[in-house]
């Protein structure tokens, strides 16, 4: 574990911008979430989701963002099992024109809309087993303090000036757009209306005196940061995209709006006629959570990993690091970026009426089932398409048949009447294929299985570090299939416990398969926590034996004692994952529509 004194990674208060940038030379860490150990040996990591707009109810895209962060965070906890070492924040983005307009359209006070929808996000995340440690709402008093302090720091450093801002503003995306990013489309009345080229949302012309942030000064520092830390933005294509954007001019950024136009927000300190731009307000949430402006935030900040969707990359990879540098704070350690879910080939939208309700999905497919589906099928580098049949097919094949079937095969009373983890016989399965004599029963494919499962935890960790959780799950699933092949090949149901020739080999086949299951169960914990718990409990693996630090596969094969050998299995608790009944009414209905 890398030992880095936290203070070396932070900008020193009062340092000039130029000297601050010298700190970047320190930022060459190994990939993956950074752990900083303090003097007590506490290894910290701080994961964040975006904070979610409260203009509409949550959909599966929002849940996906939160699940990716949850899986990363849970995987980190398995590596560093000290509860105090990990923070994981999520929350709701409640200010701005978008929310002000949505509340007006719903005939509600903005605060009423915020309370209602924020509660829906909180409930969804509870139901979906999102293990966040913090939930922030930008309407909280602690956040207002943090944002106004941040503003004052920028002001004191000469990075804000007042000027006339004139240009397009898109309220749905809460962003300013240059003319080149605006197109015309026929509106409801047939007239051509200006819309954002990227999102298709309507834009309007704005001309007002605002506070402006000297973003243009940060083009080079941002380039240096990204060139010096090639994994800062992961996966690589997004890192590359940001460097491409930085090839172009970086105009200064308007960071306030007239309060008469936008009243639902945080006032500019010392100037009530202006409201702080909602993106500046929202981004500071990541600091508020860890106690900013109190010094305690400094011990968490260097370990920050932001998980975001590709649509908000510019805000997180350009505006946010520039604002941070401006305030004397280094950019986040990692920005993990994911793509979007479409539904039956179309973008999800309220107007198309194709928004998939995540709570219905959790009900239909179970919490662990739906978590597994989104994380197994969601590929960060490109968009993924959602449809119900795909969920049923995947879960039936991988969780019910393959994994559940394997567990059943090794624990069923018929095959394992003693209900224990049987002994491993080294003469039937010697550590090298050439060793041993006539009693050797293991074949070449069995050695390939042992080798695959031995390297699986490291492979999975590498995939997590590269933000390719779907690949981690694919690797587990491949090994589950391979283990089923092993069991099938040796057909333990044809072997006889009473025969002195068969019994040691029968025990060995079951021992190897149970060891494989123990590894799979341990590695699946970040994605399917309840199902993994059920599996590990059935195997008799105690709560203290489920971390990644001491995860050794098949120690008997490698000449070490196995703590599980001879141990009683846990109680039988029924099928691991019930097959989804394809004749259910909802599926038939979904098929017809």
Cβ contact 135:89 at 8 Å: yes
Q: Is 337 in the site for ligand MSP (CB under 6 A)?
A: no
Q: Is 309 in the site for ligand MSP (CB under 6 A)?
A: yes
- For ligand MSP, the binding residue among 64, 169, 301, 336 (CB under 6 A) is 64
* CB half-sphere exposure, 156, CA atoms < 13 A: 13
Q: Is 505 in the site for ligand MSP (CB under 6 A)?
A: no
Rounded least distance, CB 73 to ligand MSP, Å: 16
Q: Is 341 in the site for ligand MSP (CB under 6 A)?
A: yes
CA angle, residues 464, 466, 468, in degrees to nearest 5: 65
Of residues 82 through 111, those in contact with ligand MSP by CB under 6 A are 93
Residue closer to ligand MSP, measured from CB, 315 or 424: 315
Residue closer to ligand MSP, measured from CB, 4 or 379: 379
| Phi-psi region at 78: left, alpha or beta (left = phi > 0; alpha = psi -120 to 50) | alpha
Q: Is 358 in the site for ligand MSP (CB under 6 A)?
A: no
Write phi, then psi, for 281 (nearest 5 degrees). -55, -50
Q: Is 53 in the site for ligand MSP (CB under 6 A)?
A: yes
Q: Under rule CB under 6 A, how many of the chain's residues touch ligand MSP?
A: 19
Residue closer to ligand MSP, measured from CB, 43 or 280: 280
Rounded least distance, CB 393 to ligand MSP, Å: 21
Rounded least distance, CB 306 to ligand MSP, Å: 8
* Span interacting with ligand MSP, options 100-108, 280-288, 461-469, 574-582, rule CB under 6 A: 280-288
Q: Whose CB is nearest to ligand MSP?
A: 309
CA–CA gap between residue 218 and residue 53 (Å, rounded): 28
Residues 6+ apart with CB under 8 A from 292: 146, 149, 150, 284
Q: Is 281 in the site for ligand MSP (CB under 6 A)?
A: no
- For ligand MSP, the binding residue among 20, 43, 51, 102 (CB under 6 A) is 51
CA angle, residues 120, 526, 303, in degrees to nearest 5: 85
Q: Is 308 in the site for ligand MSP (CB under 6 A)?
A: yes
Q: What is the DSSP letter of 578?
A: P
Q: What is the dihedral of CA 310, 379, 134, 290, to 10 degrees?
A: -60
Rounded least distance, CB 489 to ligand MSP, Å: 41
Residue closer to ligand MSP, measured from CB, 93 or 398: 93
Rounded least distance, CB 29 to ligand MSP, Å: 24
Q: Is 65 in the site for ligand MSP (CB under 6 A)?
A: yes
What are the contacts of 540-544 at 24+ separation with CB within 8 A? 540/421, 540/564, 540/567, 540/568, 540/569, 540/570, 541/570
Rounded least distance, CB 105 to ligand MSP, Å: 17
Which two three-digit tokens encode residue 352?
Answer: 């198309």
Count CB atoms within 10 A of the CB of residue 578.
Answer: 14
Q: Is 140 in the site for ligand MSP (CB under 6 A)?
A: no
Rounded least distance, CB 51 to ligand MSP, Å: 5
Q: Is 50 in the site for ligand MSP (CB under 6 A)?
A: yes
Count CB atoms within 10 A of the CB of residue 8.
Answer: 11
Residues 6+ apart with CB under 8 A from 429: 440, 441, 442, 446, 508, 512, 557
Q: Is 364 in the site for ligand MSP (CB under 6 A)?
A: no
* Span interacting with ligand MSP, options 56-64, 415-423, 524-532, 553-561, rule CB under 6 A: 56-64
Cis check: omega of the bond before 293, within 30 degrees of 0? yes
Rounded least distance, CB 139 to ligand MSP, Å: 13
* Span interacting with ligand MSP, options 8-16, 50-58, 421-429, 512-520, rule CB under 6 A: 50-58
Q: Is 312 in the site for ligand MSP (CB under 6 A)?
A: yes
Q: Is 70 in the site for ligand MSP (CB under 6 A)?
A: no
Residues comprising the chain, all counted: 593
* Span interacting with ligand MSP, options 183-191, 278-286, 296-304, 562-570, rule CB under 6 A: 278-286
- Secondary structure of 113-161 as H, E, C letters: HHHHHHHHHHHHHHHCCCCCCEEEECCCHHHHHHHHHHHHHHHHCCCEE
Closest by Cα among 263, 265, 258 to 209 = 258
Q: Is 376 in the site for ligand MSP (CB under 6 A)?
A: no
Q: Is 302 in the site for ligand MSP (CB under 6 A)?
A: no
CA–CA gap between residue 75 and residue 547 (Å, rounded): 9
Residues paired with residue 164 on neighbouring β-strands, in sequence order: 209
Rounded least distance, CB 45 to ligand MSP, Å: 19
Cβ contact 80:45 at 8 Å: yes
Rounded least distance, CB 63 to ligand MSP, Å: 9
Longest distance between any two alpha carbons in the chain, whole Å: 90
Rounded least distance, CB 372 to ligand MSP, Å: 17
Rounded least distance, CB 379 to ligand MSP, Å: 11
CA–CA gap between residue 305 and residue 71 (Å, rounded): 13
* Span interacting with ligand MSP, options 15-23, 113-121, 279-287, 354-362, rule CB under 6 A: 279-287
Q: What is the DSSP letter of 568?
A: B
Residue closer to ligand MSP, measured from CB, 285 or 305: 285
Q: Is 311 in the site for ligand MSP (CB under 6 A)?
A: yes
* Span interacting with ligand MSP, options 79-87, 109-117, 303-311, 490-498, rule CB under 6 A: 303-311
DSSP states of 288-346: HTTTTTSTTHHHHGGGEEEEEEGGGHHIIIIIHHHHHHHTT-PPPSEEEEE--EEETTE
- For ligand MSP, the binding residue among 24, 47, 52, 264 (CB under 6 A) is 52
Count CB atoms within 10 A of the CB of residue 165.
Answer: 20
Write phi, then psi, for 310 (nearest 5 degrees). -65, -25
Residue closer to ligand MSP, measured from CB, 66 or 195: 66
Rounded least distance, CB 129 to ligand MSP, Å: 18
* CB half-sphere exposure, 34, CA atoms < 13 A: 27
Residue closer to ligand MSP, measured from CB, 64 or 424: 64
Rounded least distance, CB 112 to ligand MSP, Å: 19
Q: Which residues of the shown chain bind ligand MSP in the complex (CB under 6 A)?
A: 50-53, 61-62, 64-65, 93, 282-283, 285, 308-309, 311-312, 340-341, 348
């Amino acid at each position: 574990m890398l030992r880095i004194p936290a203070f070396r990674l932070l900008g020193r208060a009062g340092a000039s911008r130029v000297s601050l940038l010298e700190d970047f030379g320190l930022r060459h860490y190994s990939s993956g979430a950074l752990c900083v150990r303090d003097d007590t040996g506490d290894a910290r990591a701080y994961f964040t989701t975006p904070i979610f707009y409260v203009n509409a109810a949550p959909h599966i895209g929002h849940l996906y963002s939160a699940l990716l962060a949850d899986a990363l965070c849970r995987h980190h906890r398995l590596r560093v099992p000290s509860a105090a070492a990990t923070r994981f924040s999520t929350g709701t983005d409640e200010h701005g024109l978008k929310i002000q307009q949505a509340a007006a359209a719903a005939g509600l006070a903005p605060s009423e809309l915020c309370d209602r929808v924020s509660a829906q996000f909180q409930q969804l995340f509870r139901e979906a087993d999102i293990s966040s440690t913090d939930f922030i709402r930008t309407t909280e008093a602690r956040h207002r303090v943090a944002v106004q302090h941040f503003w004052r720091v920028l002001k004191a450093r000469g990075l804000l000036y007042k000027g006339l801002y004139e240009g397009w503003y898109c309220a749905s995306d809460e962003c300013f757009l240059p003319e080149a990013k605006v197109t015309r489309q026929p509106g409801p009345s047939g007239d051509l209306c200006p819309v954002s080229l990227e999102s298709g949302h309507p834009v309007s012309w704005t001309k007002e005196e605002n506070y402006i942030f000297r973003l243009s000064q940060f083009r080079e520092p941002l380039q240096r940061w990204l060139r010096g830390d090639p994994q800062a933005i992961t996966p690589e294509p997004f890192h590359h995209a940001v460097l491409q954007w930085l090839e172009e001019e970086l105009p200064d950024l308007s960071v306030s709006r007239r309060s008469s136009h936008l009243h639902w927000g945080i006032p500019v300190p010392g100037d009530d006629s202006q409201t702080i731009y909602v993106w500046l307000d929202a981004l500071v949430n990541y600091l508020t959570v860890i106690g900013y402006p109190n010094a305690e935030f400094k011990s968490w900040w260097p370990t920050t990993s932001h998980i975001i969707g590709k649509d908000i990359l510019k805000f997180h990879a350009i505006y946010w690091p520039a604002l941070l540098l401006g305030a004397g704070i280094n950019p986040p350690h990692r920005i993990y970026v994911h793509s979007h879910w479409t539904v039956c080939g179309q973008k999800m939208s309220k107007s198309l009426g194709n928004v998939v309700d995540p709570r219905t999905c959790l009900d239909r497919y179970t919490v662990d089932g739906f978590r597994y589906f989104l994380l197994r099928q969601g590929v960060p580098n490109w968009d993924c398409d959602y449809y119900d049949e795909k969920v049923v097919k995947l879960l039936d094949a991988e969780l019910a048949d393959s994994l559940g079937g394997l567990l059943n095969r090794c624990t069923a009373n018929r095959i394992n009447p003693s209900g224990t983890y049987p002994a491993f016989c080294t003469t039937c399965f010697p550590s090298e294929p050439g060793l041993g004599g006539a009693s050797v029963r293991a074949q070449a494919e069995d050695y390939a299985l042992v080798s695959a499962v031995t390297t699986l935890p490291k492979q999975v960790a590498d995939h997590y570090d590269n933000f390719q959780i779907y690949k981690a799950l694919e690797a587990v699933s491949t090994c589950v299939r391979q283990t089923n092949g092993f069991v099938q090949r040796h057909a333990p149901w044809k072997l006889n416990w009473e025969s002195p020739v068969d019994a040691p080999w029968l025990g060995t086949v079951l021992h190897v398969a149970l060891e494989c299951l123990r590894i799979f169960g341990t590695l699946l914990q970040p994605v399917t926590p309840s199902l993994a718990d059920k599996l590990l409990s059935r195997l008799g693996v105690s709560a203290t034996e489920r971390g990644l630090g001491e995860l050794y596969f098949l120690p008997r094969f490698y000449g070490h004692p196995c703590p599980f050998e001879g141990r009683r299995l846990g109680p039988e608790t029924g099928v691991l994952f019930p097959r989804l009944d394809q004749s259910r009414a909802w599926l038939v209905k979904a098929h017809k529509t």
